[in-house]
Chain A
Amino acid sequence: MDLSQVEIPLLKDLTIENITENVHRINSSCPDPRLRYILERLVTHLHDFARETRLSTNEWMTGINFLTEVGQICSDVRQEFILLSDVLGMSLLIDSIDHPKPKSSTEGTVLGPFHTHDAHEEPNGCLIHHDPKGEPCLVLCTLKDTKGNPIEGCKIDVWETDSNGKYDVQYAYREEPDGRAVLMSDKEGYFWFKCIVPIPYPIPHDGPVGKLLKRLKRHPFRPSHIHFMFEKKGYDHLIT
């Protein structure tokens, strides 16, 4: 970048009152209008947050240390940042904004941190969970468009916990995916599988997000559910 071509504001004597507009000014040369707008709003809200709370240096460091811990506990099979986004309501909020659903269609919900990309493709009618202690359950579904026509050949990821309320990826000795499968809707838009009756389970709460929930006197439980994720070219991605 040729600095002589950029209009640089005089960044001196910045105060509680004028710091925000000056950060905006130095960011305003960003050529991408969307990134420029996102940064402008992010800086505005961050600065207002500090001003409105009269945030102390100690508190800010506590926040930075917390986020550092959230990052450090992440691995291939643990995504603590998604969990943080989930418990702050951010995941649900963004899904609602980015995947608006007309009244006639199925509503979406949070993805959560336990979807994997290694589930096997299975035929309709397959048993997706091999936990002998789970209560057997048959799931029969139809898949249609908003005009009532069946949707054929849609890829459907399904995943659930075992009878202990744990996903396969939460076991250190996991060798093969279990409690998950990738199905395909048939030409009438049907798909079906056998699983176990889902049970409530706590989100992983042995890390920084769990500690936060405890401080807030919140429980870490999710009600019993089965996840579904639908993918077909030409259709909006749906996660339930």
Chain B
Amino acid sequence: MYLRGDPYETSDAVFGVKETLVVSLDTVDAEQAKKYDTKEGAKLITYDFVLVTDEEANQLREEKAMKAMEALGRRMKLYHGLPVPDVD
């Protein structure tokens, strides 16, 4: 998760920044300070993460793999979920 406005936001040496992972720094309000035992005015980051199931990920990975192979003009099949030449 990355902070908005960082001097290296668009030139990460390892290419990791994605717009959906960039967050703005907020401040803790009085209610949150009490609830989470911290100081009002302290910095705050909030984020809602969404995970995909293995099943959803496998299906999408295999779909994309076969599409990419087709685009390369290769006749392939899946072997343990990964493409190999379909020689039969």
Contacts and interface: CB of A to CB of B under 8 A. Distances in A.
Interface in A162-199: 192, 194, 197-198
B13 A137 contact: no
A203 B16 CA distance: 13
B21 A240 contact: yes
B30 interface: no
A137 B44 contact: yes
Interface stretch (A11-19, A54-62, A93-101): A93-101
B51 to A, nearest CB: 5
B73 interface: no
Contacts of B3: 197-198, 223-225
A223 to B, nearest CB: 4
Query: Which interface residue of A140, A194, A238 has the most chain B CB atoms within 10 A?
Result: A140
Given A137-B43, A203-B13, A37 B84 contact: yes
A228 B1 CA distance: 8
B52 A109 contact: no
A232 B52 CA distance: 11
Given A99-B57, A107-B21, A223-B2, A92 B16 contact: yes
Interface in B46-76: 46-54, 56-57, 60-61, 64-65
Question: DSSP class of B's interface residues: helix, strand, loop or mixed?
Answer: mixed
Given A34-B84, A92-B14, A100-B64, A236 B32 contact: no
Given A87-B14, A107-B21, A137-B42, A236 B54 contact: yes
Interface residues of B, number: 49
Given A106-B49, A110-B14, A228-B49, A138 B2 contact: no
Contacts of A110: 14-16
Contact of B50 (A145, A213, A228): A145
Interface of A: 33-34, 36-37, 83, 86-87, 89, 91-92, 97-102, 104-107, 109-110, 112, 125, 135-146, 151, 154, 192, 194, 197-198, 200, 202-203, 213, 218-226, 228, 230, 232, 234-236, 238, 240
15 contacts: A33-B85, A97-B61, A100-B61, A107-B20, A112-B16, A136-B43, A137-B42, A142-B49, A202-B13, A203-B14, A221-B11, A225-B16, A235-B52, A236-B54, A240-B1
